[in-house]
Chain A
């Protein structure tokens, strides 16, 4: 279409000059028609005639007559309407207003249609479009007139108030009248906002302020929450039914402020409030509270803090309960129980909200590390489970328990302490053959591995390897014995040896004892055999954790006693003596007095007494060096094999201390390694930064004390790994 044609001046293009009288005639024709329209008598008019008249005026450049005339007619008409409407009394007022408004709107559409050409071709900003002009005149002369506006708003608000109090009102009428405010607004619903919305919101706040205050004082928190929920649903419906949708967010905000935000503290603290709900696991009420609090700013923070506070408090009680301190099993069981309980609250009431979960976890972290009991208790708990093979639990339940253990473990800040204890009890289980199932052991370990990586479990896995290799070594030894020359000279005993790689296993506190000659000879033989097969290795005998079976011949009956190595040594002494004092026992076996005490105790105070104290004393009394024991030849027992506990199940205080000490030793090494690692990469660092970095690196294993890190830095300076800057003593340099 690039080619433009020059058009000859056409006869239609140039409007005929219109006489003023002709223009006047056309205007009067239109004016009469408009008045007819305003009196709802449009049906006899010709649309085309009117349209053509308006068209003719506009193309004759006489649009101004039409436009100003229209303005006047509208002005006149709306003023008449005002009187008519204002006269209506009571409820008639709204009905009259509404019916006049509906008619007026239709008329304006019709007038707009007739004057379409004027509207499109003549009207220019800032003049109002034909329809808008009609709206404006209605607004100016009717709606915001002092006789109408205030009366109307008051009546509308009155009806809404009635509806809020449960009465039925005419929703369609409401919608039409409220929409009128929107329709007469020229831009951005300004009339609606100024004249209606503002006052409506104020009335709403007022209504709910007094209702909520009254309701919450006379009802339970649960009932109040339900009430609030219903109110919010009602208001949502109100928006749809007769308000402009732009009011929605403002209305809901006003309701939420009055109904929720202003009462949050009360709902948390009141007797039937949040605290009680959490205490009594009222999941549904809490869920509702969560849903409602979620709607207001900072609402969830309040709820979350309250919940986390409760969790911390409950946890604190559990970890400090005297019974729990004595019974690791009860402690861990209670902890798992509350964990389960709170997880249920989290999922059923708090939609598993991340923030809530995190703050519950933080609470767990804080009370689980309140005292240093937990690492050991957790290790003991698992120890008991693994000894008993998770009695009464199926595979799935076992998995659940193990996962809970891992969960609690995750909260421990000193994972290295736990690890030491776990290794300690694992070693005991393996060596005493008390582990129920290797599969379960390995499952548990694999979970730790998943959680903390290879390094955490390498020693534990090493223990299992040792157990397997020991079996092979022992088989080899037995074959060796059969072919050995020396064998002929020795009486046969059944000896079982476990070879433990140093480093994998916890070092048990060093103990010494004198073995009977026969056993000693066997030990020597084994050493000879083993060191021949594995050159370069050295065997250190660890007799204190062994077991033995001893035949006990009574005059009438023979029993087999299952004893610890120490107990065996003590019992063997009675082959050559009738009565022995503890002191003599210690001398005869070279066992420490304390171990003698612990070994003897089960022999004379248990269910089956193979030793008796002479003279008989109350058994609760502490043993002293000079207490004398003899064999109890009157032992009555139907069992052939009698089993004795080596020592009490839990460790004695010195052993525990020993474990702790070893943890400290290991920590020194870990801290040294961390410092060197950091300094190697950073070359130079300020003291505080080094402490921070070091703490960060180690945090997955334990929380190092600053004083300890300081000492290690000093130590590393002495060992010339680091040096201080001469000009700045607070800075360190790495020495390669």
Chain B
């Protein structure tokens, strides 16, 4: 019998992608979050990752509307901290939920159709 083993190292994959989000390397899409309470925050992102991890972004790029053409999107009704959490989840598949952020995560994972996340937070 031929022996076969699959090498798996998802935790490294996860941290590497998280690093990518913060390093801004090869970024081709910007997410700008404006807030009255906090200062405006810009995230340098990657279309390939956004669209493969989120139905919302998938639709956004596929429809070729204004955002896809200009290369950025602006949110005014999202807390920068929540957006960072969501992006971190998109990139790394990990998200720490605590009583501070739970409610907001719940709301935005619903809004952007992160169903797995939504189920998890609802249980929390």
A residues contacting B by CB (< 8 A) are: 1, 4-5, 7, 10, 12-13, 42-48, 50-52, 55, 109-110, 112-114, 116-117, 120-121
B102 touches which of A7, A52, A112, A117 (Cβ 8 Å):
A7
B60 touches which of A12, A44, A113, A117 (Cβ 8 Å):
A113
Binds A, one of B3-11, B38-46, B63-71, B88-96: B63-71
Neighbouring B residues of A121 by C-beta, 8 Å: 110
Q: Main secondary structure on chain A at its contact with chain B?
A: helix
Complex contact A45–B65 (CB within 8 A): yes
Neighbouring A residues of B74 by C-beta, 8 Å: 48
A120 touches which of B66, B73, B113, B124 (Cβ 8 Å):
B113
CB distance from B58 to the nearest CB of A (A): 8
Complex contact A5–B69 (CB within 8 A): no
CB distance from B36 to the nearest CB of A (A): 14
Tally of chain B residues near chain A (CB < 8 A): 28
B75 touches which of A10, A48, A109 (Cβ 8 Å):
A48
Q: Which residue of A lies closest to B66 (CB)?
A: A46
Instruction: Kindly state the separation between the CA atoms of A12 and B78 in the bound complex, as whole angstroms.
Output: 11
Instruction: Kindly state the separation between the CA atoms of A6 and B99 in the bound complex, as whole angstroms.
Output: 10
Complex contact A5–B102 (CB within 8 A): yes
Q: Main secondary structure on chain B at its contact with chain A?
A: helix
Known pairs A1-B123, A13-B107, A48-B73; A114 contacts B63 (CB<8 A): yes
B residues contacting A by CB (< 8 A) are: 55-56, 58-60, 62-69, 73-75, 77, 99, 102-104, 107, 110-111, 113, 115, 123-124
CB distance from A22 to the nearest CB of B (A): 15
Complex contact B113–A42 (CB within 8 A): no
CB distance from A366 to the nearest CB of B (A): 51
B63 touches which of A1, A4, A110, A120 (Cβ 8 Å):
A110
Complex contact A113–B62 (CB within 8 A): yes
A45 touches which of B58, B66, B102, B115 (Cβ 8 Å):
B66
Instruction: Kindly state the separation between the CA atoms of A261 and B85 in the bound complex, as whole angstroms.
Output: 68
Neighbouring B residues of A4 by C-beta, 8 Å: 123-124
Complex contact B67–A46 (CB within 8 A): yes
Complex contact B59–A47 (CB within 8 A): yes
Complex contact B113–A43 (CB within 8 A): no
Instruction: Kindly state the separation between the CA atoms of A51 and B63 in the bound complex, as whole angstroms.
Output: 12
CB-defined A-B contacts under 8 Å, sample of 26: A5-B102, A10-B107, A12-B104, A42-B63, A42-B64, A42-B65, A43-B64, A43-B65, A45-B66, A47-B60, A47-B63, A47-B65, A47-B66, A48-B60, A50-B65, A51-B60, A109-B62, A110-B62, A110-B63, A113-B58, A113-B59, A113-B60, A114-B59, A114-B63, A116-B59, A120-B115
Neighbouring B residues of A46 by C-beta, 8 Å: 65-67
Neighbouring B residues of A112 by C-beta, 8 Å: 59
Neighbouring B residues of A52 by C-beta, 8 Å: 77
Q: Which residue of B lies closest to A7 (CB)?
A: B103
CB distance from A7 to the nearest CB of B (A): 6
Q: Apart from A48-B60, A110-B62, A121-B110, what 5 extra A-B contacts exist at CB < 8 Å? A: A7-B102, A44-B65, A46-B66, A113-B59, A113-B63
Complex contact B107–A12 (CB within 8 A): yes
Complex contact A5–B124 (CB within 8 A): yes
Neighbouring A residues of B103 by C-beta, 8 Å: 7, 10, 12-13
CB distance from A24 to the nearest CB of B (A): 21
B99 touches which of A5, A12, A55, A116 (Cβ 8 Å):
A5
Instruction: Please list the 5 inter-chain residue pairs (A to B) with the smallest Cβ-Cβ separation, ordered nearest first.
Output: A113-B59, A47-B65, A10-B103, A12-B107, A47-B60
CB distance from A58 to the nearest CB of B (A): 10
Instruction: Kindly state the separation between the CA atoms of A42 and B59 in the bound complex, as whole angstroms.
Output: 13
Instruction: Kindly state the separation between the CA atoms of A5 and B98 in the bound complex, as whole angstroms.
Output: 10
Instruction: Kindly state the separation between the CA atoms of A7 and B97 in the bound complex, as whole angstroms.
Output: 14
Q: Which residue of B lies closest to A3 (CB)?
A: B124
Neighbouring B residues of A109 by C-beta, 8 Å: 62
A1 touches which of B62, B64, B104, B124 (Cβ 8 Å):
B124
Known pairs A5-B102, A12-B103; A116 contacts B55 (CB<8 A): yes
Complex contact B67–A55 (CB within 8 A): no
Complex contact A48–B113 (CB within 8 A): no
CB distance from A44 to the nearest CB of B (A): 6
Neighbouring B residues of A110 by C-beta, 8 Å: 62-63
Neighbouring B residues of A7 by C-beta, 8 Å: 102-103
